[in-house]
Amino acid sequence: MLFNSWTFAAFLPVVWLLHHAWRRAWWQVGVLTVASLAFYGWHTPWLVPLLMVSTGLNSWAARELMRPGAPLARRRRVMWGALGFNLGALGFFKYAGLVVGTFWDGASGSWIGSIPLPIGISFYTFQGISLVMESWRAGASGFPGLEPPRGRKEEGWFHARVWFFKAFFPQLIAGPIVKAGEFFHQIGPKRLWDVDWGGALRKLVLGFFLKMVVADNLKEATAALAWPGFMELPRGSLLLLLYGFSFRIFADFAGYSLIAQGLARLFGYELPLNFLHPYLAPSLTDFWRRWHLSLSSWLREYLYIPLGGNRHGEARTYVNLFLVMFLGGLWHGAAWSYAAWGTAHGVGLALERWTGVGRGDPGRWPLWRRALGWVVTFHGVSLLWLLFQLPDIRHAWGFVRCLATNGDGVLPQSAFVIGLFGLPVALHHAWGGLASWRAGWAPAWRARVEALAYGTMLFLVLVNSGSGGDFIYFQF
């Protein structure tokens, strides 16, 4: 079910009313869990059993890892078994086709190559791994919001909360990736009068605006960014297509994350921040402190630090950065172009660390250095986004070659549309960059400006939305 569909517009108020109809935690958790499974399987019901198997096994593993008096050897077997299941399921459904297509030809592997990708599997698998790792670390003491059960009643409540954590529909399909320690302590009875209406509505309006007005219109405006359609375009139009796609991927994914956060607040839950004006970053290191923060945090806690982080010398640190970004690239998609994308980011991060660019606070840099770093970072990040739109690396390289060899000029209509719908992304970042200046405004003046901005965005959602479609990160 899509957030930007009429079906969801009918689904949400029914679930919200049922959820708040009775202020009992077990009722509210049950309503949201059942509704989340319906949301997930609305168009493809076969996906629900896979999610239920994944959730059931992770729930059992968490229970066993917290069992008082459990021998260390058994706990270790449970942990590795659960991790193996999570990574095995992800590998089979997402990467089996890539492996077969790379190393085998012919009909023998054709059925594997045709395995459909279950939507959202990358996100809920990472949540399952987070639950297993937090349960392993906590042991019999548990962690806030999830303690070892004592008795049959508590056993049922333990598993009910795990199912809710894994299935909660706002973040189920495309994040933010919620770690176990961030969520379970929030589970409890929610009161209607505690709903943060202002915060929820602001996030929903901005999220739907970024998706339906900006991203969906830019999708049509950048349709020419496809092989071989761009080959004959002038250099100026190619640059505009590159900028337009870069703005589109931000608006699409940030829009989804904001909608997810707003929906969660309607039910009394807080999801982690996922974007912090990433196109203001003056370095690649700073970009990854601002882009897809929940993924960056997950990779750092469950991959980079266990690999040794920066604790074993510079050479090992560079290797760890490379491995984390290489695997992070593959997480985005089952194609070598995504691995190349992650590798390029990993090499860039290692180079910045080696040269000192990635160390320290960029806010203390001289203005000229921040400006130069911003130009280089934005264009580098935007060029690498080509691998998302042109997964054949030869086609992406062909685009770069055309940038260098095609004639000057720009198509006026394309320039106008991309400029028009890219402007909100630029203004959104400028608004974030001027946060310290805005803090000095009088509260009444700030409230009027925000009311005008959100009112305008809501109006444009109603009258100027582009053609609807899936969110880009659904494929990951």
Question: Which active-site residues does the annotation give?
Answer: 332
| Sole residue written with tokens 């509704």 | 35
Given 3-state DSSP classes, what are the helix, strand and coil percentages for the chain, each rounded to the nearest 5?
A: 70, 0, 25
- Point out which residues pair with 143 in neighbouring strands: 146
| Sole residue written with tokens 């409230």 | 447
Side chain identity, residue 23: R
CA distances from 114 to 50, 63, 95, 106 (A): 17, 36, 11, 13
Rounded CA-CA distance 193/191 in Å is 6
Side chain identity, residue 439: A
Q: Which two tokens stand for residue 436?
A: 């310290």
Alpha helices in 267-360 (DSSP H): 284-287, 293-299, 314-332, 336-355
Side chain identity, residue 221: A
Among 475, 476, 472, 462, which Cα is nearest to 212's? 462
CB 402 within 8 A of CB 394: no
Rounded CA-CA distance 147/68 in Å is 11
Among 125, 104, 110, 101, which Cα is nearest to 50's? 125
417-421, long-range: CB < 8 A, 24+ apart: 417/217, 417/220, 417/221, 418/218, 418/221, 418/222, 418/240, 418/241, 418/243, 418/244, 419/240, 421/213, 421/214, 421/217, 421/218, 421/221, 421/244, 421/247
Among 126, 241, 232, which Cα is nearest to 178's? 126
CB 34 within 8 A of CB 11: no
CB 60 within 8 A of CB 135: no
